[in-house]
Structure 1
Amino acid sequence: MKIPKTALVFLVAVCVVVYLTYSKHHHDDKSPALLKHPLLSAINGFKRPTSAEVVSEYFQYGIMFDAGSTGTRIHVFKFLLQPHESPKLAHETFKAIKPGLSAYADDPERCAEGILELLDVAKADVPDRLWDSTPLVLKATAGLRLLPGEKANHLLNKVKEIFAGSPFLSRDDSVAIMDGTDEGVSAWITINFLTGGLHAADPPTVGMLDLGGGSTQITFSPKDEKTIQTSPDDITSFKMFNLTYTLYSHSYLGLGLMSARLAVLGGTEGQPLPAGQELVSPCLAPDYTGQWEHAEVTYALRGQKAGEPMYESCLKKVEKMLYKKVRKAEDLSSMEFYAFSYYYDRGVDLGLIGMNDFASW
């Protein structure tokens, strides 16, 4: 089955499942803790409009802002609601802007222009009679998780202020930072919702690999009890569609494509180099000179001189950066996985898939 990359956004399922059908359960000492999804607090309590209040065709809209480390994206989802059936995604409007919110950590007011631009996209897509019943949510990921708490809160408060002035349905807790586990679980729900893995009593599910700019996630439903017993901190359970799902989900903060690249090059997240200083790396071509921008910081780069050992030196830097940070997940040899986000982009760059192709890995 092939799926468009834009449909693989990890927050599709949040709007589908959490807003329309997600069931909240309490902790049971005799069973795994049921996941308390971060978006429940943002959306739980919103009064679901009747079909007459929505539209006669039984459509419902939801607006999701995905505030990642390299950009902010808006997804305006249109769902088809039919009696006794799971909601179906009828249409998605998508737009992305750069840089990410974390780039405005020292001046939160500057993020307003981009947020307002994306809200205009939602206003153009959602019928105005439905604005006050359409939930509006922003969830930030690794970009803000990597910031000092005070700076992250200033950015979130600015977004809350903008959302409060919008015509859409938003509460104070509609704007928040997702932790890595919830980010992985949301992505897993998304891909299995889209592939049909959540629409039967006991369907096979697929695993997911998500490579972002600041973090990377792996999430799957373990079949081997050993995986559950040996990785208790990575196991979470939740109930949905009257079924309980137990997942292995781990997020590696700092091992997203951009953050890992900066670490390998020898830089520090959010810290510009002193004037005239360069990052010299064996992982660059000999005698290479250039610049690289990450999170609104520009780094001067230079490769080692020709003749110096490169491969071995670069390998050692990567191994040192990854040392004791990556754990091997068991129980994967017979499981199908879908990889997206920067995995897709790198696949396009390498010519493994066409830019307009649908990716299924």
Structure 2
Amino acid sequence: MSALLRVSLLLAVWMLLAAVSSSQRNALNAVDFSESFGNTLPSLSRPANASQIFYSIMFDAGSTGTRIHVYTFIQKDPDGLPVLDNEMFHSMKPGLSAFADIPEIAGHTVRQLLRVAKKTVPPVEWKRTPVLFRATAGLRLLPPAKAHALLEEVQDVFDESPFYVPVDSVSIMNGTNEGILAWVTVNFLTGRLHRNPQRTVGILDLGGGSTQITFLPKSRKTVESAPADFMVRFHMFSSSYELYTHSYLGNGIKAARLSALGALGSEGLEKKVFQSSCLPKRYTGEFSFGGFSYHVSGVTDGVSGFRACSQELLKVLKGIIKQPHELKDSSTFYAFSYYFDHAVEAGLIDERRGGAVKIRDFKKRAKEVCNRPSERTQLNPFLCMDLTYIVCLLKDGFGFKESTVLQLTKKVRNVETSWALGAAIYHSQKFRIH
């Protein structure tokens, strides 16, 4: 294939992806929270009535899509938390890891998303508005050389942009920081930061490649029994926090599918068919993740249903997930990402409003879907597997009781509940952009 033809095909693929991207209105360095970040942003002349307004551009490059968040903040108290005035959000699928062998398209994706920032941030503010890109589990799971090539493409696009590009503006974020910043986001949006720390809420995030749990322990036994690297101290806006937090790479919902199917690290994919008792017996199809496609099917002669599926998925979690002591008691947790998406898909909550769901509700619906396939499984053959995995992860993995109530949400106060807002808030004090 000629070089010209290859480039033409790449651009055609990218234009197709852009056409199906989703948008709606409304980045943190692989952060070591003990580290100091940069100097003051460039000082520019600004309108007098805009002296308390600042902007932040965060790219969230996940395993299944790339999102841009453009935040508008108002700083009323120089030493206090900023007020979030607006969020502009836009996303494109698939995730950048799908372009591991054609990194040029990663640059095109980011360049397209930057148009949202240019339309949102006033031109006079461009040179003092930081733009940051943080990749999560999708790139963590790639071979280092391929991940680096993708990051270089993004860096080239940033260097061409009119925005302020800090040192280390493009990187892969570690899972611990992902959990901490998601916790900051939820507690900021629910008005719990700077109040009684005992009233903060925990967060559960379930992505495609990894899953995070973060909360402020109320029990000394939880702290004493936790592995040393699960406890993290950080300081933000005159307050200090000691959080229990951990990210389990390879235990996101898409990666768990591969583990259950026995497909992780397998070669010769074009000739293999991976079977699972979690899939409908007569189902045959393909599953794509991380730039690879897998032929999958149900078990025609074996046992299927919730019990058999649970046994498969418990093997994925065995010996990996730790059980924090106090989760056996009553705790308030917000859960989002695929927890939310699959609760909507299963008819447990309304997509617009979200809602409170007990873990036993997930279990009951998983049994119905697995044991009596219906229209839902025709729309998503993996729904039995995904719901069962959520039950096993929460109950047998983390150790929540079936009676535990989770607050499932995609947005709080009409803002996405991702780690990106927490990163923007954290960087606002580190860069002193207010």
Q: State TM-score, norm by structure 2.
A: 0.70
Quick check: 2:42–2:127 contact (8 Å CA) kept in 1?
no
User: What letter matches 1:120 in structure 2?
Assistant: R
1:88 aligns with 2:100: no
Correspondent of 2:249 among 253, 256, 260: 253
Change (3 A) 1:225 1:54: farther
Where does 1:69-218 land on structure 2 (aligned, <5 Å)? 69-84=63-78, 85-200=80-195, 202=197, 204-218=199-213
Where does 1:37-52 land on structure 2 (aligned, <5 Å)? 37=33, 44-47=38-41, 52=46
User: What letter matches 1:108 in structure 2?
Assistant: P
Identity of aligned residues (%): 43
Q: State TM-score, norm by structure 1.
A: 0.84
1:327 aligns with 2:284: no
Correspondence for 2:275: 280
Change (3 A) 1:329 1:53: farther
Quick check: 2:225–2:325 contact (8 Å CA) kept in 1?
no
Correspondence for 2:401: none
Correspondent of 1:60 among 54, 57, 71: 54
1:314 aligns with 2:309: yes
1:226 aligns with 2:199: no
Q: CA deviation at 1:241?
A: 2.3
Task: Give, in whole Å, the separation in 2 of the partners of 1:54 and 1:227.
Answer: 50
Task: Give, in whole Å, the separation in 2 of the partners of 1:204 and 1:90.
Answer: 24
Correspondent of 2:262 among 251, 263, 266: 266
Correspondence for 1:22: none
Change (3 A) 1:295 1:86: same
1:17-44, CA deviations, whole angstroms, 9 ceiling, x for partnerless residues? xxxxxxxxxxxxxxxxxx8339x66x53
Task: Give, in whole Å, the separation in 1 of the partners of 2:137 and 2:125.
Answer: 32
User: What letter matches 2:146 in structure 1?
Assistant: K
Task: Give, in whole Å, the separation in 2 of the partners of 1:272 and 1:117.
Answer: 34
Quick check: 1:61–1:79 contact (8 Å CA) kept in 2?
yes
Query: Any idea what SS the aligned residue of 1:76 has?
Result: strand
Change (3 A) 1:353 1:54: farther
Q: CA deviation at 1:297?
A: 2.3
Is the deviation greater in 297-306 or in 87-96? Answer: 297-306
Q: CA deviation at 1:48?
A: 6.9
Correspondent of 2:343 among 344, 347, 354: 347
Correspondence for 1:299: 294
Q: CA deviation at 1:77?
A: 0.3
Q: CA deviation at 1:204?
A: 1.3
Task: Give, in whole Å, the separation in 1 of the partners of 2:332 and 2:344.
Answer: 21
Query: Any idea what SS the aligned residue of 1:275 has?
Result: helix
Query: Any idea what SS the aligned residue of 1:331 has?
Result: helix
Query: Any idea what SS the aligned residue of 1:114 has?
Result: helix
Correspondence for 1:27: none
Task: Give, in whole Å, the separation in 2 of the partners of 1:326 and 1:201.
Answer: 29
Change (3 A) 1:294 1:233: same
Change (3 A) 1:201 1:253: same
- Any gaps of 5 or more consecutive residues in structure 2? 1-22, 357-406, 408-434
Query: Any idea what SS the aligned residue of 2:105 has?
Result: helix
Q: CA deviation at 1:273?
A: 4.4
Query: Any idea what SS the aligned residue of 2:50 has?
Result: coil
Structural RMSD (CA) = 2.5
Task: Give, in whole Å, the separation in 2 of the partners of 1:295 and 1:240.
Answer: 35
Quick check: 2:235–2:241 contact (8 Å CA) kept in 1?
yes
Task: Give, in whole Å, the separation in 2 of the partners of 1:58 and 1:156.
Answer: 33
Quick check: 2:269–2:294 contact (8 Å CA) kept in 1?
no
Q: CA deviation at 1:132?
A: 0.6
1:220-247, CA deviations, whole angstroms, 9 ceiling, x for partnerless residues? 0011112112212200001122221000
Correspondence for 2:364: none
Change (3 A) 1:321 1:123: same
Q: CA deviation at 1:104?
A: 1.4
Q: CA deviation at 1:130?
A: 0.6
Quick check: 1:160–1:172 contact (8 Å CA) kept in 2?
no
Correspondent of 1:338 among 334, 337, 341: 334
Change (3 A) 1:276 1:48: same
Task: Give, in whole Å, the separation in 2 of the partners of 1:140 and 1:70.
Answer: 11
Correspondence for 1:235: 231
